[in-house]
Structure 1
Amino acid sequence: MQNICVAHRGFSGKAPENTLAAVRMALALPFVSWMEIDVQLTRDGVPVVIHDFTLDRTTNGHGKVKNMDFEPMRRLDAGSWKGRAFRGEKVPSLEEVLDLASGRLKLNIELKTSGDMYPGLEKAVIDLVSSKGMRDEVVLTSFDAGVLKRIKEQDPRFHTGLIFDSRLGDPARKVKELDCSFLSISFARLSPGLARLLAERGIKMMAWTVDKAKEMHRLAEMHSEIMICTNRPDVWGDTFLKA
């Protein structure tokens, strides 16, 4: 049982999430074949890799990501909060992460937005990924159905994925309605029946965020096609690669 290992925001268990340090640490593990990252837009329209809508938690800056231009954002420290060894890590551009991952890792790129927070986010990401010739190396995911529809309208060749974390509703039906080929779902919401149905329909499924060996084993026993998204790819390695 070797369910695919997805590094959540890079190797974020040991390095500051969504930084080049976390990406490089994930790349250094030969069994990591996918990585999940989060993308937003700076005020001047640069796609950047950061999770929160504000800068406060993961940098020494303050305020909303959408209210800062790229160059001032680059001067922020996005690593010290995790440890002195990471002092000076920066908020990376999506382009930097794409350049590191190209030909080495597939990417689940979550478009972080709410409502009309980021007009043009879909186009900026589509254009950048396309310019790198990486369309087949990524899946673009979102909680927002409108985002997923706009991606398909702008370029139907892109793989899209729904992120689902509701106690109610039918994720399999929603994925089909949105013409998605991928479901990103909280591991607590994934059942054997749903996993089997998705696999039969050819839908890739990723369970997040799974850091304990016990849960990794449970998901692997549930279905071999469940991708395991984890902050701790080293735990995945210990769990599935033991002699």
Structure 2
Amino acid sequence: MLDKRFFEAPIAHRALHDVTQGRPENSRAAIEAAIVQGFGIEIDLQLSADGVAMAFHDYQLERLAEAKGAIRQHTAAALGAIPLIGCDEGIPTFAEVLDLIAGRVPLLVEFKDQDGIMGPNVGALEASAAEAVQDYAGPLAFMSFNPYSVAALRDLAPDVPRGLTTDPFRADGWPLLPEAIRTRLRAIPDYDDVGACFISHSVDDLHSPEVARLKARGAKILCWTVTSAQQEQEARKIVDNVTFEGYVPKGS
């Protein structure tokens, strides 16, 4: 079950990032800014070449960091020395993020798919993260689009609440994902098998019958990614909390 603190304040998507203010996505500066304002924090995890969970969204470095190539091709030490675009920080490890947050606000962790097509070729990223959180005492939850990843987390970190990141999985948004897999994931069939207690669903698809079905069963419903106060107001008619970016919610 999600800690009640996950519903007390909105959740900052990739932390409270604003690269024009020196706070890139998933950066220490963005994390500290979210903590100062009392927001929950969502971050993403990717795996380094030497098997360390890193706080980074993309599979490639170019958009977010002063380097090229796949994040998976670099060691954790090398990634820590690569500056994020917009500040002089390197890419943090998940363990460094945990030390920084130290339980002060809720932390929602998304595991990026390591298989390529939402399949079973996962485990190393999940194992690294599970080891990192062994002694973490703050409000924490794990999630992924890939149900195999969430199943691995069920086995590796059974005490950490788990959820599925969900979406209508349309072809234009997921061009590399086979139609059969998109159709299956759209139905959210793995909720019970992975031991989930929540979903985080696309804000543009909250009227999905699958969302309504799970909500009626008592599942907690989060959503991604709200980008305005008006959109938040509409989303809150359905969801228990929002993940936001691009504006600062009221009441912060």
More helix by share: 1
> Alignment length, in residue pairs?
224
Alpha carbons 2:17, 2:25 under 8 Å: kept: yes
* Equivalence for 1:25: 33
Shift of 1:55: 0.8
CA positional deviation for 1:202: 3.0
Give the conservation status (yes or no) of the 8 Å contact 1:4–1:226: no
Question: Aligned residues: percent identity?
Answer: 25
Displacement of 1:66: 0.9
* Structure 2 counterpart of 1:24, one-letter code: E
8 Å CA contact 2:122, 2:148 repeated in 1: no
Cα distance in 2 for partners of 1:132, 1:195 equals: 31
Deviation at 1:154, TM superposition (A): 2.6
Normalising by structure 1, report the TM-score: 0.83
Mark the CA change 1:3 to 1:74 in structure 2 (over 3 Å): closer, same or farther.
Answer: closer
Question: Larger relative contact order (C-alpha < 8 A, sep ≥ 6)?
Answer: 1
Question: Match for 1:231: what amino acid?
Answer: E
Change in 2 beyond 3 A, CA 1:78/1:118: farther
* CA distance in structure 1 between the aligned counterparts of 2:137 and 2:233, rounded to whole angstroms: 36
Shift of 1:176: 2.6
Secondary structure (helix, strand or coil) at the match of 1:141 reads strand
1:77 corresponds to which residue? 83
Q: List gaps (5 residues or longer) in structure 2.
A: 1-6, 170-182
- With over 3 angstroms needed to count, the CA separation of the structure-2 counterparts of 1:158 and 1:77, relative to structure 1, is same
SS of residue matched to 1:149: helix
Residues 48 and 91 in structure 1, CA contact (< 8 A), matched pair in contact too = yes
Q: How far apart are 1:197 and its partner, in Å? A: 4.3
Equivalent position amino acid for 1:211 in 2: T
What's the offset of the Cα at 1:158? Answer: 2.3
CA distance in 2, matches of 1:4, 1:174: 28
Separation (CA, whole Å) in 2 of partners of 1:155 and 1:57? 31
TM-score relative to the length of structure 2 = 0.80
Q: Once superposed, what is the RMSD of the aligned Cα atoms?
A: 2.3
Distance 2:32 2:130 in 1: 24
| 1:114 CA drift (Å) | 2.8
Give, in angstroms, the shift of residue 53 of structure 1: 0.6
* 1:42 partnered with 2:48: yes
Change (3 A) 1:204 1:4: farther
Alignment match, 2:94: 94
